[in-house]
Amino acid sequence: MNNEETEIKEKTRAILEGLESNRENLIPILQKIQEELGYLPPYAMIEVARFLNIPEIDVYSVATFYNQFRLTPPGKHSIRVCMGTACHVKGGHIALAAWQRRLKIGPGETSPDREFDLDTVACVGCCAMAPVTVVDKKVEAKADPTKVDGILLSYQLQKEKEEKENN
Amino acid sequence: MPVVLVGTATCGRAAGALEVLQAIKDTVKKQNLNCLIYEVGCMGHCYAEPLIILRKPGFPSICYGHVSPVLAENLVTNLILNDDPSLEFVLGSLEENDLIPSFSDFPRSKYEKRILLKNCGHINPEEIEHYIANGGYESLSKALQMKPVEIVSEVKRSKLRGLGGAGFPTGEKWDVCRHSEGEPKYLICNGDEGDPGAFMDRAILESDPHSVIEGMVIAGYAIGARHGYIYVRAEYPLAVQRVRNALLQAEKYKFLGENILGSGLSFDIKLFQGSGAFVCGEATALIASIEGKPGMPRHRPPRVAVQGLFGKPTILNNVKTLAYVPHIIKNGADWFLQTGTERSKGTAVFALAGKVVNTGLVEVPMGTTLRQLVFQVGGGITKGKRFKAVQIGGPSGGCLPESALGLPIDFDSLQESGAMMGSGGMVVLDEDDCMVEVARYFLDFTQKESCGKCTLCRLGTKQMLDILEDITKGHGMMEDLETLEQLAEDIKQGSLCGLGRTAPNPVLTTLRYFREEYEAHIKEGRCPALMCQTLIAYYILPEKCARGCDACVGTCTVEAITTDKKRRIKVIDQEKCVKCNTCLAACPPQYDAVVRLSPPDKVPKSEGK
């Protein structure tokens, strides 16, 4: 067993502690793991299968069926572009293109420096503020390409400030 | 004592309500003002977010819109310290009075009737006392003095139909479950509001969660259920948080759990978070997902009322249906029957979005026409553009043209027109929206969300999407239109659940009402609405472009616009242009020089270098 494997399995076991070994708990368990670890590592899924006493493939099939679960590590900041109807007619696809252009990654990917991960979301229900992008859980209203640049700039400035303080 | 209410539902937060709330808290502390501050839910006027309401004895309750932190500070101090209601910023007052125009004076109020939304935006959803003070849980105590069969027959008599979209009579469903064998029975509240463009259930769960819980306890008692679930989408974190909090409070007050209000009835509710699958709005898929399986629908019968969650009799009702139950128990079926049409009673809640002036939540009696909803309540189309269509019912619904605006909104008339009521999402489209692109958008959605169980849904939607993509890129052929219609028929026939059976509706309705747009794409390579990116080009009209202005140059996100040295006008490099529309938005209205041309070869050849 390598270090990563041990670490992930230990963390998973800590999350599972006190929970009932019920198939019904599978989705809540996976949600909890993702909340703590940011994604569902294979070792964590193996551990969950053992805990619930179900085949590993059953855990994997649930993890890949639902859009919410991700199998790769997230970036430091999450960008979720809303693809709802109202956002679409107000330029949601244009906003997505702007994010892709600036971050140089596609939906479902994480930037090589692990600063950002980009994805789409079906609809966050803020249709009156369209087009919206959810940046680190905050809903940004009227997120057109200009606002995209503004948001990225503010992150860059913040990062530079932090680096200066650290030095 | 003066009270400040701040609307902090998700829409409000997106517009900056939390910053406003903080500014008000700071002011109150700094000036040492004697007043209460509450967070409330969605008031429905999303177009004017962030919204605040100020209450002071001697004044009516005043609602202000488009509030910024600085403005909020001034509004609060002006009213509380100086008795100045800052009339220029008022949106409306909540009660009729001589001083300030009230919401009931708005022309739209003639068409609105707020029953489900009555509390939304006026009470603090985090405090159960606010709900109780407004008559909450009275219906529960009344219901507990009735026999379960009396409750079912009252709901049956009211002709309440499922407000999730299908419109199945609620009372009849309950009756089936009541008589089904098997213990324990389950009651599930379906808050998996997956339709893009719909946010009614989110708003109710965020703004008035106790109304849903009260409805669930009554329904649980009526059908003899022991356990309940509220299934909420993972995309609604605030709704999840507020429901969780409301459940704890209801338990503490003995409205939930063991021996409810001393009646001997026991009923508990668990909160289950969905994981982002549209198909889970379907009853059997939702049940599979609670059981910890992939959300794939199964064949019916057996009906879920007979064999549902864990194989036991189960009732699944939409958020709004359950929120209606306390009102019906309190006021009686006869009261409910007064509103609505012959076959659809009560009110319908709609989420108005898209190109309409008053975006937000509205509640109107069934039978209100689409025209009244879009033009009187919604205030018409933004920027003086022309109405083109209204998309109703989400991916299962359709796009209805101007000629259909006279249709009354009820379950049956909309179905006949090829759309459906759906759960209440309504997106208004104007002349800038391409109907082929809208159809493509929905097929893209359903194709991705198809669970893959039925072949025709899995592969047929993919085939339709490929054809629509070809058309929006100018590679379509006329015979494609027949193929689309054929495929649509096959998918409807060959799919098990509502997702597949209704997925072709957006294509069928646009083909039926907007066929000429399909033909323009295919025959001329032209997008009449100037929306399909492959078929348009951005162009700056030389005669209109102003020499001294370079607004577009600075805003271009890819530096595709340069100034022509000789003539001092701006030119777009078509190779670099990504068609992001920023220059068109930036060009000052007095010049209005940036235009979209379709087909793209309309751009003069000498330009664009």
What tokens were used for A142?
């009227």
Spell out, as residue ranges, where chain B has pLDDT lower than 70.
606-609
Nearest to A122 among B196, B351, B391 (CB): B196
| pLDDT at position B605 | 77
What tokens were used for B287?
């049940």
Give me chain A's average pLDDT, please: 93
Are B441 and B419 within one domain? Answer: no
Kindly report the nearest CA distance between residue A141 and chain B, in angstroms: 5
Are B298 and B416 within one domain? Answer: no
Nearest to B581 among A24, A94, A138 (CB): A94
Q: Is the pLDDT of residue A122 over 90?
A: no
Kindly report the nearest CA distance between residue A2 and chain B, in angstroms: 31
H helices within B65-208, ranges in order?
69-82, 128-133, 138-144, 148-158, 170-179, 200-207
Q: Is the pLDDT of residue A160 over 80?
A: yes
Of all residues in chain B, the one with the smallest CA distance to A90 is B354
Contact: A126, B438; criterion CB under 8 Å:
no
Counting the structural domains of chain B, the total is 5
Q: Residue B111 domain-assigned?
A: no
Contact list in B for residue A65 (CB cut-off 8 A) is 277, 294-295, 451
Are B249 and B291 within one domain? Answer: yes
Q: Residue B609 domain-assigned?
A: no
CA distance B249 to B246: 5
Of all residues in chain A, the one with the smallest CA distance to B237 is A137
CATH number of the domain residue B390 falls in: 3.10.20.600
Are B164 and B265 within one domain? Answer: yes
Residue B328: strand, helix, or coil: helix
Contact list in A for residue B555 (CB cut-off 8 A) is 146
Contact list in A for residue B357 (CB cut-off 8 A) is none
Contact list in A for residue B237 (CB cut-off 8 A) is 137
Are B164 and B225 within one domain? Answer: yes
Contact list in A for residue B48 (CB cut-off 8 A) is none
- Partners of residue A9 on adjacent β-strands: none
Q: Residue B445 domain-assigned?
A: yes
Contact: A146, B557; criterion CB under 8 Å:
yes
Q: Is the pLDDT of residue A50 over 70?
A: yes
Contact: B294, A128; criterion CB under 8 Å:
no
Last residue of a domain, one of B335, B368, B401: B335
Contact list in A for residue B580 (CB cut-off 8 A) is 94, 97-98, 145
Nearest to A68 among B234, B353, B558 (CB): B234
Cis peptide before B395 (omega within 30 of 0): no
What tokens were used for B405?
């605006």
The DSSP call for residue B385 is: P
Give percent of chain A above pLDDT 90. 84
Residue corresponding to tokens 């069928």: B508
Last residue of a domain, one of B285, B310, B335: B335
Q: Residue B608 domain-assigned?
A: no
CATH number of the domain residue B465 falls in: 1.20.1440.230
Contact: A123, B198; criterion CB under 8 Å:
yes
Pairing of strands B387-392, B425-430: antiparallel
| A-B Cβ pairs (cutoff 8 Å, strict) | 161
Q: Residue B36 domain-assigned?
A: yes
Could you tell me if B433 and B529 are in contact, meaning their C-beta atoms sit under 8 angstroms apart?
A: yes
**Beta strand residue intervals within B511-553, DSSP E:** 537-540
Last residue of a domain, one of B381, B404, B430: B430
Contact: A144, B582; criterion CB under 8 Å:
yes
Query: In the structure, what pLDDT confidence band is assigned to residue A91 with cuts at 50, 70 and 90?
Result: very high
Residue A166: strand, helix, or coil: helix
Q: Residue B313 domain-assigned?
A: yes
| pLDDT at position A126 | 84
Q: Domains (ranges, CATH) in chain A?
A: 3-65 (1.10.10), 77-166 (3.40.30.10)
Contact: B351, A127; criterion CB under 8 Å:
yes
Could you tell me if B360 and B432 are in contact, meaning their C-beta atoms sit under 8 angstroms apart?
A: no
The number of C-alpha atoms within 13 Å of B327 and in the hemisphere containing its C-beta is: 22
Most A CBs within 10 Å: which of B427, B436, B499, as the mutation test of the A interface?
B427
Complex ipTM: 0.92
Contact: A68, B275; criterion CB under 8 Å:
yes
Contact list in B for residue A26 (CB cut-off 8 A) is 292
Q: What residues contact residue B163 under an 8 Å CB cut-off, 6+ apart?
A: B318, B320, B321, B324, B348, B349, B423, B424
User: In whole angstroms, how far apart are CA A84 and each of A6, A121, B198, B426, B525?
Assistant: 41, 8, 9, 12, 27
Quote the domain boundaries for residue B12: 3-105
Q: Residue B565 domain-assigned?
A: yes
Are B518 and B586 within one domain? Answer: no
Kindly report the nearest CA distance between residue A80 and chain B, in angstroms: 11
| pLDDT at position B609 | 44
Pairing of strands B347-354, B570-572: unpaired
CA distance B214 to B514: 45
Are B288 and B235 within one domain? Answer: yes
Contact: B557, A65; criterion CB under 8 Å:
no
Are B366 and B229 within one domain? Answer: no
What tokens were used for A136?
């680190």
- Partners of residue B347 on adjacent β-strands: B365
Could you tell me if B40 and B203 are in contact, meaning their C-beta atoms sit under 8 angstroms apart?
A: no
Of all residues in chain B, the one with the smallest CA distance to A83 is B196
| pLDDT at position B295 | 96
DSSP states of B459-519 as a string? IIHHHHHHHHHHHHTT---HHHHHHHHHHHHHHHHT-SSHHHHHTTHHHHHHHHH-HHHHH
Could you tell me if B157 and B333 are in contact, meaning their C-beta atoms sit under 8 angstroms apart?
A: yes
Are B229 and B83 within one domain? Answer: no
Q: Residue B506 domain-assigned?
A: yes
Are B174 and B291 within one domain? Answer: yes
Are B40 and B141 within one domain? Answer: no
- Partners of residue B556 on adjacent β-strands: none
Cis peptide before B209 (omega within 30 of 0): no
